[in-house]
Structure 1
């Protein structure tokens, strides 16, 4: 039915947004680690 399809689409969207959020979190943690190792490199990239 159309309702079931809409439900599955909504679940897929939630999973996709969760993956994006976790990926963004991992990227932020990696940037923090890089900033600690090479602060000057990080500052030049951000500026």
Structure 2
């Protein structure tokens, strides 16, 4: 079984559930969001 499957499932669950937790038009941010953003910026900087 692909080792990336749990991560892909987690990402899909977050994408599906997040819109239901919008408060006053603001989507909550998680530490995972920050980590992914920082990783993306580091990758683009290389």
TM-score scaled by structure 2? 0.43
- Greater helix share, 1 or 2? 1
Who wins on radius of gyration, i.e. which is larger? 1
TM-score scaled by structure 1? 0.42
